[in-house]
Every structure is written in structure tokens, then in C-alpha cells.
Structure 1
């Protein structure tokens, strides 16, 4: 009889603990987390089958899996996403650099990856170009191709006017146009994100880019969570998940996977199936990759 009571008490205690844990887990995100994204391969875009794919998509899916949360990826323009984040009709954005202006309406999670800004040239011209410092662009009289939208570091910002005055600055509409101009020798080097530029070059022009040694700039990249979110504990839980996955090496492994994708053989898609998570996508219109700027950059 004593043994039965002991077993019954143990079962009740375990079940009660399980129920409490389940209620807490459910209260973190009782509804799918609504995440806005735009076309910025290889970080996020919609493939031909209508799926949200990309490095940031995969990384957020890892975090969502760790929390037991569902994610609703919503394809939309960047300006609309920021407005919806302010109003609370959107819960989250990906690929965000910290700014004081954004902090007015969003919480920033712990960084989940780094971003590097580098200079690139065509593989066949790499032996003829040596840049160890920013001023080498002026001394070597190299024409720099720069997409209109984006942050390219303090050196570029401070020397932009002088580059223009010396005829060394070639502004392009977007990264894809910069790549085309490099292919047709309208410039000598181009500047941009260390992962996206090689991807865009391979996909749009079949062009192999090589990075130059100089690291122009680096940033920590975060998820932005609307300050209107109904779950006050969600930010901390996301931070905990990022720390856990980082310690396991899962986030670094994901970045490495996308850095090594052979885009020439697998245009518009990953070399692997995207990570499966309880997620849905709300897609407004067909995919039309233009190479334009990252959603939150």
C-alpha cells in the first residue's frame, strides 16, 4: 500500500510538472510569430515552389524549433515591414543591424550572426589588384561599384565625395547591376556583403568573384522584435535559444553551409532541403529576384 501511494505521488508530481512546463511553453508564443521578409538572397527569398528559403529563414527556424514555436513568414516590402513592426501587426524582422531609431519601436535580440562588408573583383583580375588599406583605391585609381542602398562602412562614407570627384565612384541601382557592370568592365572592384555578393554574381551572371584581403566593415546581426508584442517573455526566450544554439555550434554550421553553396549548380535554391519547422508562408505575388537590399539592413 505504501509502495502504491509512493508511485501514485511520483506520477502525479511528474504529470503536474509536465503540465506546468507545457503551459509555460505554450504561453511563450500561443500564436505563430509573424515575421516579415523580402528578397535578399541568400538570406531570404521565395523559391519557385513558393517556399521561404535562405540563411536567415533557416536560422530563425532553428530558433523557433528550439522554443517549440510556429513561424509565419510574410513576404513584403521593407518599408511596410517596419511600419507594421511599429504598430505591432508584425512581430519580428530578421537580418537587422542595431540603430537608435529602430530601438524606439523594437527590441533587439542577441546577435545570431555576423555581417562582413568586403571588396570584390573578378577571379581573373585578382592577381593584378592588391588592396591592403582603403586609400589604395585612390592610389591605384580603381573604379568602385557601389549599390545605392546599403551601409558600406565609415571609410566609404567619409571618402564618398572624393571618390566621386576623382571619377572613381560608380553608383548602381542594386547589387545585381553592380555585378553586371563589373562583368562588362564598367568598374574594377565592387563592395558589399561577403555572402550575398558572390551568390548574386553566380546566380545572375555566372561570374566568380574573389574577395580582397581588406575587411571594410563588420556588424552584429539581430532579430528585431516589436515592442507591441503580447508576450513579454519572448525576447528572453529567443535570447536563450540563440545562446544554446550558438554553444552547440548549430548557428555557425548553418552559416558555413550557406557560404559553401554552389549557386552555379543550384540556382534559386539551397543544396539541402530547408529545415522543417511548424511554419507557414504568406506570399504576396510571385518571386522576382532583383538583388535589392536586405530587409532590415
Structure 2
């Protein structure tokens, strides 16, 4: 009988058996990390959940500010950070998964306005009669940083204290556009009931890849490889493609790797 019980137990065990619970650093950042009554959701959260479930492991979210999260990865106090950009210094302390989405920075405008500003580079837009808002302290790519330093263009930029404030100015026709993360800006516009009246200019300010950043201190390399293999399988699925498209505006960006 004991051999029969053992066989049944093995048959019921997950194909990717794992006794590890991944501790994941998280902070509110809609639509990527969203706190709901039943727990955390959002685009990045759902992708990570699928990768961890596919590896047969468990997940635990820990509310930690991003800068502290980087320190905790280095000492192994947490296992994973989401939406991480690769740097050589970070790679000393953690593994980077296969990139799972592009971080897109664009210009949100009232519907129909973007056609008035054809552009092959950002200066083409700023050379025209335009006034844009951007969130104070945000980094939206090297090209936009050069624009911000230009004495010729500084009068055409308004600095808002928050993304919501910048979009509110757009809603009330105080500015012509808002430089913003594409998915986060669209989410905020929907939240404010404004999404039906906006579009994104086809010229993309910046596009970079983001990955899951996994602590070398607390996660063995073999376990990271199992997690990354599971992620790669999910990224090839129709389910992933449908999830990603549900968060993107219907825009064909001129210089995006999503084309």
C-alpha cells in the first residue's frame, strides 16, 4: 500500500516541482502593479505569476520602495524585482530574465492632433507651435533630455508634479501633449474618463526592454534557469500576446520594436 501511495503522490506532483516561494518586491504602479482587495494584479504581475506557476513554485509579494528593493536584491532579502532595466552593476548581484515587454515612452495628444505634427525626430515636433507637459523628475529618453536642456525649447515644456496633473492639463486644453509612459498614461486617461479623446503620436520618445531581476544571493542559478525557461514558454503563448495587446493603445509607432 505504501508504494501505491508513493506512486499516486508522484503522479499528482507538478511537472516542475519546486519548494521555493519567491519573495517579490512591489510598489503601486498602475497598470503594471495594481493593488486590489484580493491581492496584487497588473500586467507585470500577471506575467510573473504565470512564469512562477509554470515552474511549479510559489509567490509572495512584499511592499518595498524600488530603491530599497535594489539593495534587498543584493543581500538576498528579496528574490525578484519586476520591470528592471539591465545594467552591468546590477548584473553583479542578480540574474536578468528574458525581457518580457518594452517600456514605451510616447506623446499623448487629443485625438486628431498628432497628424498636425509629422516628425522623423523629436526636434521636428518642437520646431512647430506646440506646448508639452512632462512629469517633473521623470526620464523619458536621451533625445527628450537634450530637448529639455535646449534654451530654444525650454519655453515649450511644462513640468507637472504628477502624471495625473499633466493629463488634467491636456483634458482642459492647457497643453498640446503629454510625454508619458504609454501604458501608464493610457491607464491614467482611462481612470479619468478621458481615454476616448486621446491618441499617441506615432513618434516614440524611447523604447527599452525590461526584465525580472533575480537575486544571486537567494536564488540558485538552476532555479533561476527553471523560472526563465517557464517565462520563455509563456512569452510564446497566445495568452501572453492577448494580455499584452489589451494594455497597448492601437498605435503603430514609427520606431518601436513592437511593430
SS at match of 2:139: coil
Q: 1:151 aligns with which of 127, 139, 158?
A: 139
Q: Given the superposition, is the C-alpha separation of residues 163 and 99 from structure 1 closer, same or farther in structure 2, using an over 3 Å criterion?
A: farther
Unpaired stretches in structure 2, ≥5 consecutive residues? 250-259
RCO greater where, 1 or 2, for CA within 8 Å and sep 6 or more?
1
Name the counterpart of 1:191: 179
User: Is contact 1:35-1:73 (8 Å) kept?
Assistant: yes
Comparing 113-122 with 158-167, which one deviates more in the overlay? Answer: 158-167
Name the counterpart of 2:241: 252
Q: 2:20 aligns with which of 15, 27, 31?
A: 31
- In the alignment, the residues of structure 1 paired with residue 59 and residue 76 of structure 2 have an alpha-carbon distance, to the nearest angstrom, of 16
Name the counterpart of 1:62: 50
- In the alignment, the residues of structure 2 paired with residue 223 and residue 258 of structure 1 have an alpha-carbon distance, to the nearest angstrom, of 19
Name the counterpart of 1:141: 129
2:162 equivalent to 1:174 = yes
TM-score w.r.t. structure 1 length?
0.73
How many residues in Structure 1 have an aligned counterpart in Structure 2?
Answer: 244
Residues 76-133 of structure 1: per-residue CA shift (max 9 Å, x gap) = 3222222222221111011112123322322111111222221111225445444442
- In the alignment, the residues of structure 2 paired with residue 248 and residue 101 of structure 1 have an alpha-carbon distance, to the nearest angstrom, of 32
Comparing 221-230 with 155-164, which one deviates more in the overlay? Answer: 155-164
User: Is contact 1:118-1:214 (8 Å) kept?
Assistant: yes
- In the alignment, the residues of structure 1 paired with residue 154 and residue 219 of structure 2 have an alpha-carbon distance, to the nearest angstrom, of 53
- In the alignment, the residues of structure 1 paired with residue 42 and residue 34 of structure 2 have an alpha-carbon distance, to the nearest angstrom, of 6
Q: Cα distance, 1:138 vs. partner?
A: 2.4
Name the counterpart of 1:119: 107
User: Is contact 1:91-1:229 (8 Å) kept?
Assistant: yes
- Aligned-residue Cα RMSD (Å) equals 2.8
- In the alignment, the residues of structure 1 paired with residue 98 and residue 15 of structure 2 have an alpha-carbon distance, to the nearest angstrom, of 25
Name the counterpart of 1:91: 79
- In the alignment, the residues of structure 1 paired with residue 29 and residue 50 of structure 2 have an alpha-carbon distance, to the nearest angstrom, of 19
SS at match of 1:213: coil
Name the counterpart of 1:80: 68
User: Is contact 2:79-2:219 (8 Å) kept?
Assistant: no
Name the counterpart of 1:223: 212
User: Is contact 2:79-2:215 (8 Å) kept?
Assistant: yes
User: Is contact 2:148-2:154 (8 Å) kept?
Assistant: no
Q: Cα distance, 1:50 vs. partner?
A: 4.6
- In the alignment, the residues of structure 2 paired with residue 142 and residue 118 of structure 1 have an alpha-carbon distance, to the nearest angstrom, of 15
Q: Cα distance, 1:164 vs. partner?
A: 7.2
- In the alignment, the residues of structure 1 paired with residue 227 and residue 219 of structure 2 have an alpha-carbon distance, to the nearest angstrom, of 15
Residues 41-98 of structure 1: per-residue CA shift (max 9 Å, x gap) = 1111202x25201001111111111111111012232222222222211110111121
Larger radius of gyration: 1
2:231 equivalent to 1:242 = yes
Q: Cα distance, 1:210 vs. partner?
A: 0.4
